[in-house]
Structure 1
Amino acid sequence: MELTAEQQIEQLNQARQLIEQDASFYPQIMRGILPIAQKPELALRAWCARFLADGFASPAIGDSEKTALAVECLDTVAALLQTDDGRLRASLIQCAASVYALVFRHACGDAGARDAWDRLATIKTFVLSLWDSGPAGVRLCVIKFAQCVVAAQTAGSKDPRLVDDADVSIATVPPGHAFLRRTELEAEAHGLLDRLLAVFYDETINESRISATLYAVGALAKTRASIAARILNTILAFNPLAARFDVARPARARLDLRFVDKNLRIVLASLARLPAAAPLRGRIQYYLAQLAQLKPAQVDDLLKRRATEAADGDAKRQRLDVPPEAPPPAMAAVLAAPPTVAADASGAVPYARLFSLLAGSPLASFDATQLPAHLATEIAIAGLAAVDLPSLQAASAIVHARLAALFGSGPVLTAPPADDDDDDYDPADTVSFAPDAPAVAAVAAAAAAATTELKAEDDDPLALDAPVDDDDVDAVPLTAAKTLTPAERLAVFQQMIERIFQSNDAFQNVWKFAANQKAAKTNMSKLGINNDTWVVLLSRVSTRGTDAGADDLQDKMAAHVRDRLFAYIMASFRERIDIAVIWLNEEWYNYRLHVRTHPDDRLEDSQYAVWASRMLDSVIPFLDAKDRIFIRFLSDLPELTAAMIQKLKTLCLDPDRAKLGFLALQYLIMLRPPAKEFCLDLIQFLYENHPDTRASCERILQKHRAAVVRAADA
């Protein structure tokens, strides 16, 4: 007689107790439960799913045995995931998170494991599809699964001394693998990381998702230094008080804020000790101090204010059906303006009188041409934003009637009745104003006379000096735009670049004088606008925006942008070091793109090497012994040449700044392996030719080139 589900679960529990006493039975029992997991009873499936999740998370099984078991259980996990049960799927997703790195490493080492990788990819696709559609508990498990995928498909530590043999990263994929492509895997990992970090930009607070994401990305920042800065910057830009809360449930909102605040403190305090967090340590401390100052009374006041704003918004929405108020006196005067205007003593109608709607207004005699262009634009935009549509249509109809009275008869535009539905637009219902040929001729004659009086026909390259054909009033030919000479194009380009720098200064002033600078920066960052946006734009203009070598003008444009960027950075290097790094990274990337089609070009001759060397030459003479930011600048450069390393010789030979020079060399030797030999060559040169530096050089050479020290002693 077949056992019932309860009896089978009782036997399975006895097997679990056996494993707790002797973990060596794990592989045997795990293989034995795979057929049981295929049975239709939900209780049996749930037990097997939980057992698989616990088994692969247990350290009692060796990695090799775990890998073999992981490959065997993929079909079972994929089949059980189709069961529509939240707890069952949560256990299976935890199991999939544990086996992902194991199967990934197995596929990297075995080119014939394509079938296992395809099954794992199917599981990954299904699990990620539950990110937005599954129950709350399942979504939290998907976040953990995404963390494991990102960890496996991003670069690990570059320092060979810190590499863990058990760590699985993108470096595990051998070059030229049969079916695994590094670029595709890394792109997928960065996309998943973006999706993980998107929770910090949501308008509403979801405490459970934020907490789960905080601990997931916190673990990634500790093991993946390449993405640690990106994670920290996103967390530091997160402002929990700026999000929307459920004001109808203040107790729940207060509790959510409390949990988010606590988890932020725990994660940031842990990440602040990482080497990758050193440049951001000041911001982290400030952020933690701001959280510490948050009092419960402030949270209560915030919730009350949000509730009041919501109530006011409801009240405003309820008043949409109230009849419109009578127009103010000024607008009433506009609507009462006469449809005709009188000519002056010469018989002409001035434009000011034609468009003036306020009789006797002192504004009619004001010369608007004296206003700066930007101020006039701001006034016009503010006026258009303040006026309502019916009043604007009525004023336009008055001006139209005046024009019709002056130049000929035609249909007079009238303001249509107010309609709340703006989507009922029908082109057939619009009134078209098509004046007759004599009217057009009169307008053309008046325009020609005004042009002659102002003497603008010969000076304005954009003047419409083509005659109007009375027989074809619909065609108004325009003269072609003036062709600029190369010198004129270069001058216009330089003016554009200067305006970008000026707009950056204005942008800085917006933040400087904002009432809440942190909130202003956060809001601008959410829109994708920050301090570095214009730098990226100009960097790409100088590299990929102009075709180097295409012609002399293109080269001059690129050179001008580089000169301006260099001068801007050197004006305050310590404050603008991030701008320098962004620019030089763009130059290096452009060289890498260029060398694909020109493999004979040398890095030493590239624009990147030229400007990086020029920047080092300009900065090193003004450094002091405490300028550790210089080490950060060197570490952020994408590639270092032997010539760049040789420029540190000046620092090492200066008694007052030698400590900074040798610290920089030691840092590069430890953390920049490609530059290690260049640094050791410089240290060996100093050791052999400058006795004053022998003490500092000997400590480094004893570790890396002991033969040089022994030869000198001999």
Structure 2
Amino acid sequence: MGSSSQALQQLEAARHVALGDGNHYPQILPAVVPIIGASANASLEVQRWGADFLAETFASPTWAPEQKMQQSLKVLSTLKDYIESQDVGIIKSAIQASACIYPLVYRHIISDPNDKQSWQLMTAIKSNILRRMDAALPGVRICCVKFVQQVVLVQTPAASADPRRQDPNDVSLTHVTRDHPLMPYINLEAESSGLLDRLLGMLHSDNSDALLLTATLNALGLLIQRRPAIANKILSSVLSFNPVKSASPPMTAKNKVLLRSLERTTRVLLINVLKRNPEHPLSGRIQQYLERMHRMRLEAFDDSSRKRPAPVEPTDGLDAAKRQRLGATVPNIAPAPPSNTVAVPAPAEAPIPPLPPGPVSFRELYTLNPDASTANFDVQIFQDPNQLIRILIPVLASVDERKLTTATNAVRARFETVRQRAAQAAAQAAIAPAPLAVDDDDEYEPDFEPENAEQVANRIDSAPPDNLPEQPAPSGPIAPYKLPEAPPLTEQEVQKYGDDTIRRAFGMLSSLDETASKTKVQKGGFNRYAASSFDRESWVTIISRLATRTTCGLDDPDEGVKSEYGRMTKKGSFALSDRIRDGLYNYIMYDWKRRLDLAINWLNEEWYNDRLQSSSEVSSLPNGSNSSTSNSGTKGNYHRCCLRLLDGIITYIEGTDKVLIRFMSEIPEIDMEIMRRMKKMAEDPERIDLACMVLQYLCMFRPPVRGICVDVLEEMWRTNDRAKPSARKFLAIWRPQILESEAENKVKEETMNGNGNMEVRPVA
């Protein structure tokens, strides 16, 4: 006894160390297994501790699954000895540990088909547990249900058949190959299907324990969530399960508690299914099942705990069958029916209570039962109107016509009483004298203290003089009053208010949902309605058109100072369009990858506005003048805005961002200055391939700019040594004569250097 207690103390100390830090489990477990094994002649207390320790160890999430899988192979023999023990506590803990170990061994055998010994030990443990599932004690059977749940979970295909899209920690039948030597695919699938049928059969067996049924329902919930392939089969079996009928005939307090727990577990299981998937195909059946189970629960529990109702006594007098009391008023008794008819006793009806004095609400007007129990019923618990209709139609069909007529007459009489009360109250209010005017402010309390000399002097000074003549009332109509015009805004105020307006517009644009506009089909074209909806695209169209079209022809092109990107700004003035363009640029560059479509729309608006301005300038020229001299070489707002956006994007773009190809392919106009940005971007070794891909794409799908793209490729090939291999591949397709001339020059150079006549410098 002393040695076993000392060993338990040491083992408990090791357990506390492992609980403090899960990284110690791989070191502690190999040292503990030889001590707790049944083959080591350990005492019963040590074996119980060992079984609990193994169940706790492999259920702990604090150490890695790979280490668990390695250590699980070392405890299989110990678990096999524990399963064959006669102690119930050891068997229960061993089954729980086996439920945690089975997925680990399953994964190991998938990756190592040659470990036949480990799989044989696991198969022996599984067979022993399955034999105990039907005839063991209730506690052991509950542990067996947990083990069967894990077996069905790992031997059933996962939600996705593609192993690349699965959760790596979710072990399933999908990971098993069809030709596995130790675990045949067909056998595993058939075994899992049979074990699932055994679990579902527990719900419909006559001698099942309530605790065992609760454990089964909890096990089925995880299978429904993680294995959609068998979810409908499980739900169909659960919907045919009646937790109330599984009650034993004597409804003791213990049985009531068990049945309430079983009913609540079933309800929570189905409600969680609806929460995870409201559009489930069986949602209608689940709703009907929950309603039916709610009614059955009320019938099973509420009626059993209710006391015997009080006997119904007549309310309009004494009962004629009883002895009459002296001095009491005897009601008129209806004549007896003829002798050839059978008298049917009429059901006793509850008296209709009178209306309460004072004002009456609609609820009190239509409440006819004395206890007013139906008035406390809240119909808002029915979220679905169809559900309420399904309940009301049978209820209205079962209403007695005589009772309905009596209730209708009672409500009509009550309504007449309410009308009479209202008429009497109105007549009394007309006869009563009008009340004195009372100040509206109920909280005002005048100060009745006597005034001092200073207060009297102030009141006299503020009073008007007594000798003022009375002013006659105006005879003519009063002229309408007009507010004075506001003073003109200064240039600084205009700039400040304009900046605030633009800032609010872009703040509202940032708050809109950027994904809502993608689901709507918008009408394309330049003549579309910009404000047809209040989504992000409509607001961007409005803002871009404000920047491009509102100031056409208002600015003097001769006045201004040239700034960065060729922008002309007035001295000391507020250029509204340029402010909006700056806001658009900042908004796009804040998240340029997701807002690249807005940048393309903006540039299209700028290009269209430049075309409108150029056409209007040409039409306004006098006859015989040259349009090229009037433009003086200006390229408009599109060119500078495109260069500004392109410079901002190239600053942050990486070599793997293919969105630049889309941007360059969808902008409306490309010139040499824009394409030289690709040459500048190719100076970065990591972005050479991206620049060449952009140029190749434009050569293939935008033939009008093919010459410009090939010229830029030729410049890259001549000036950038790192970009030479990539540019050479495309030049061989679009301009092979450059490479041929370069090869001829190189041959001449080598020939002349070999003869020793002269040296030719290679062509750059």
TM-score (norm 2): 0.39
Structure having the higher helix fraction is 1
Answer 1 or 2: higher relative contact order, Cα 8 Å, separation at least 6.
Answer: 1
TM-score (norm 1): 0.41
Q: Which has the larger radius of gyration?
A: 2
